[in-house]
């Protein structure tokens, strides 16, 4: 399997693209990052890409955030504008383009999961989910819950209320800043998405609490992550985003 050591850093690209398929605001993104073996990601790697390494190893990130003011082709569909998402993603390269690919993505809307699978073969699944953001005197608390196979999993961070923008050579920048998303079509071809947003500020995370059923959510091959502490956890502020799908 091809790999690439991604210690060299680049700013998020904001190139002009075709009309966005999706616009929204992604807000309060928890990123819990784990080093994994390359073989674990082999079944999910889109064609023609190589793994983008950090400190010599591929990583996955459990990412939990809120979709707000969601619009598809400019239309704000009632009942589908505000909802949480939780995904498990990893880091890839296509030449100079740094991007992400996904193991699985969860949303609490059956229609969204079905459309994403049907139109773009994206690994979306439905699950009952909820989220909560609380501003407290001691900091900003962000919580997400997901129920799968009768079990409820929870991730919670407590972070500083103030935010700052990490430098481009930082670990936080590597994990949070990507202009490209990748997948595989039903015919086995590479699918490319351009994701445009400004560089995100982050809140320093003071505390992480996770009760996460990796097996029921992602499968038995991910069970070992239940016994691991993430190498890092970040809370990104988020921003307005646009997603433009491209083939090839």
Task: Give pLDDT tens digits for 9-26.
Answer: 333 333 334 677 778 899
- Model pTM score: 0.89
Q: Where are the domains of the chain?
A: 16-247
pLDDT reported for residue 8? 33
Q: In this predicted model, what pLDDT tens digit does every residue of 36-91 receive, in sequence order? A: 999 999 999 999 999 999 999 999 999 999 998 777 766 556 566 689 999 999 99
d(Cα 94, Cα 193) in Å, to the nearest integer? 12
Give 182 or 80, the one with higher predicted confidence.
182
Give the model's pLDDT for residue 191. Answer: 92
CA 49, 54, 55 angle in degrees (round to 5)? 135
Q: What's the confidence (pLDDT) of residue 77?
A: 61
User: Token pair for residue 215?
Assistant: 């097996």
As assigned by CATH, the class of the 16-247 domain is mainly beta
The three-state DSSP-derived secondary structure of 28-78 is EEEEEEEECCHHHHHHHCCCCCEEEEECCECEEEEEEEEEEEEEECCECCC
């Amino acid at each position: 399997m091809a790999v690439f050591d991604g210690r060299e850093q680049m700013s998020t690209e904001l190139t002009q693209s075709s009309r966005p398929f999706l616009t929204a605001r992604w807000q309060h993104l928890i990123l819990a990052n784990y080093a994994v073996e390359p073989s674990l990601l082999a079944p999910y790697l889109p064609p023609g890409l190589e793994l983008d390494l950090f400190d010599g190893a591929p990583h996955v990130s459990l990412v939990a955030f809120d979709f707000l003011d969601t619009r598809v082709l400019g239309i704000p569909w009632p009942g589908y504008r505000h909802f949480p998402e939780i995904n498990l993603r990893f880091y890839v390269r296509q030449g100079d383009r740094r991007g992400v690919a996904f193991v699985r993505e969860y949303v609490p809307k059956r229609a969204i999961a079905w459309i994403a699978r049907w139109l773009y073969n994206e690994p979306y699944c439905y699950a009952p989910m909820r989220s909560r953001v609380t501003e407290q005197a001691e900091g900003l608390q962000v919580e997400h819950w997901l129920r799968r196979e009768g079990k409820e999993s929870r991730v919670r961070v407590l972070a500083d209320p103030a935010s700052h923008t990490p430098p481009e050579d930082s670990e936080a920048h590597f994990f949070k800043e990507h202009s490209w998303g990748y997948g595989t079509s039903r015919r086995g071809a590479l699918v490319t998405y351009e994701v445009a947003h400004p560089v995100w500020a982050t809140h320093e995370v003071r505390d992480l609490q996770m009760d996460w059923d990796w097996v029921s959510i992602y499968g038995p091959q991910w069970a070992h992550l239940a016994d691991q502490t993430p190498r890092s956890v970040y809370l990104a502020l988020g921003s307005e985003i646009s997603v433009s799908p491209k083939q090839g």
